[in-house]
Amino acid sequence: MKKALIIVQDKNNTTKRFGEEIAEFLLNRGLSAELIPINSFEPRKLQEADYLLLSGSRNGSILPRSDNEWISFVEKLPTLNGIKTALFDTYKIFPGGLFRKMKKYLREKTDNLSFTFKSSDGSLSVSDKLDLNDFIR
């Protein structure tokens, strides 16, 4: 059974809800999916993972700035060889504005980062579900 890890920061309830929606969708598609708070993540979990979905955090700002805790987390990640990786985020004003900055920090960790998911309210849209199906293929 393929396994997905969904890493989320608990600072934003909407982003956490979006991570939960993603996990539930993947479970319904027959994957093993585990939602893990960023501060509880253990790198050994990556040994079993086929997919990694990372949330972003704006450090309490509506502007697209990466949170220091998230940056530190990414810097400690091992290389993600063979693990298909995606980013997800929620927004109020700037949809997807954080992804460019997140990708900058992840570029040394993976070259398999082609999917991003965003939501204003923490729910999966029909388009997100179609994209998630493509992501897990």
- Please tell me the pTM assigned to this model: 0.89
Residues 6+ apart with CB under 8 A from 130: none
Listed residue (126, 112, 98) closest to 21, CA to CA: 126
Confidence at residue 50, expressed as pLDDT on a 0 to 100 scale: 96
| Whether residue 120 has pLDDT greater than 80 | yes
Q: Which residues contact 58 (CB under 8 A, 6 or more apart)?
A: 12, 64, 65, 66, 67, 98
CA angle 129/134/137 to nearest 5° reads 125
CA–CA distance, 99 with 121 (Å, rounded to integer): 17
Q: Residue 134 contacts by C-beta under 8 Å, 6 or more apart in sequence?
A: 115
Distance of CA 71 to the CA centre of its chain: 13
Q: Please write the tens of the pLDDT for every residue from 88-108.
A: 988 777 656 678 888 888 988
Lowest mean pLDDT among 5-14, 24-33, 116-125, 128-137: 5-14
Structure confidence by residue, pLDDT tens digits, 42-98: 999 999 999 999 997 654 444 445 578 888 899 999 999 899 999 998 877 765 667
